[in-house]
Amino acid sequence: MARTGLYQSEVRKARDALLAQGRHPSVDAVRVALGNTGSKTTIHKYLKELEAENGGAGGRKSTISEALQDLVERLAARLQEESNERAAVIESESVERERRDAESMAVLRRELEKARDDLRALAAEAEAEKRSHEQTQGRLHAETVARHTAEQQVSDLKERLLENEAHRQSLEEKHTHARGALEHYRQSVKEQRDQDQRRHEQQVQQFQAEHRQLQQSLVVKQEEATRLNQDCAKLVSELSHARQALFDQQSIGRHQEKRIEDLQVEVRRTAALEAQLTDKTAQQEALVARLESATGQVSALTGRIRELEISLASEQSGLAAQQSIMGELRTLLANRAQTEPPPASTGREG
């Protein structure tokens, strides 16, 4: 790098020192004498000015080899500066491209990670919904079996209820017939007594003969009446039991209807869960498509990065070739400076 504030007097001192040592004051030699500081262009300009001053004073003409060496040095210095500028521009562009590609890759990686997280979350949610759906289907199957069983029980209970109703009606008919028979018997007994009383005076003697027979018949009739009363009480008790059984069966029927309604609500809820599972499956397929698209973009960027790396390697190879050429030029100039004899004295006193 050129040193700031390089003066012509410093270049003059370095050149005079080289001449005193019998060495040619080339740009590189003067720069080395200055401690590897100062721009080669500035040093070359000062040397030209000093050469012009010395040429006007001493009248020494430069040789062709010196002019050629000076031209080569200036070309080498210019080539070095252009190479450095070109390398700096290429490096800056490469760094900028790498930065942009890195930012794009980072954005795509974040989107890819987000898509993967969403996919994992949806997969977990879908799995949970699937397990819930399986459990619901299991409960639905169990409830369906229970409902069929309950419906069969309700059907059986209805049949038993119809049978109990028929039996109750039969008992009521028997009870009605028994009451009618008892009433008819009582009416006939009353009529018989009335007739007996009307014929009492006329048939006192006949009554005494038939009195025992009538008493026996009355005892039999009373036993029949007692038996009919017992049958009626039994029928009333059976009717009460039948009514209680009917009430119990109606309660069971209402309970089974309530369970059927609950099963219908569960069926509707299962249908809603199946619809939700269908939506989740569609969302999962959309996320998988986005993931495939992001993967394609990552592959394209990877190919672009490889192309940039190849271009950078090519630029670096060209730069290395230029530096190699410059090194060869410097070596050639150094060899020629060492093999050439020192310039003749200019005749300056001192």
DSSP string covering 212-262: HHHHHHHHHHHHHHHHHHHHHHHHHHHHHHHHHHHHHHHHHHHHHHHHHHH
For residue 298, pLDDT beyond 90 = no
pLDDT of residue 63: 62
Residue 343: C-alpha distances to residues 50, 56, 62, 212 (Å)? 16, 17, 9, 193
Q: Which residues contact 118 (CB under 8 A, 6 or more apart)?
A: 287
pLDDT of residue 27: 87
Asked whether the beta carbons of 284 and 126 are under 8 A apart, the reply is yes
User: pLDDT tier at 106 (50, 70, 90 boundaries)?
Assistant: very high
Asked whether the beta carbons of 62 and 39 are under 8 A apart, the reply is no
For residue 61, pLDDT beyond 70 = no
* Domain ranges within the chain, ordered by starting residue: 8-107+311-339
* Mean residue pLDDT across the chain: 79
Percentage of the chain modeled with pLDDT above 90:
7
Residues 274-285 have pLDDT tens digits of 788 787 778 878
pLDDT of residue 55: 59
For residue 212, pLDDT beyond 90 = no
pLDDT of residue 251: 84
Q: Which residues contact 337 (CB under 8 A, 6 or more apart)?
A: 23, 24, 26, 29, 69
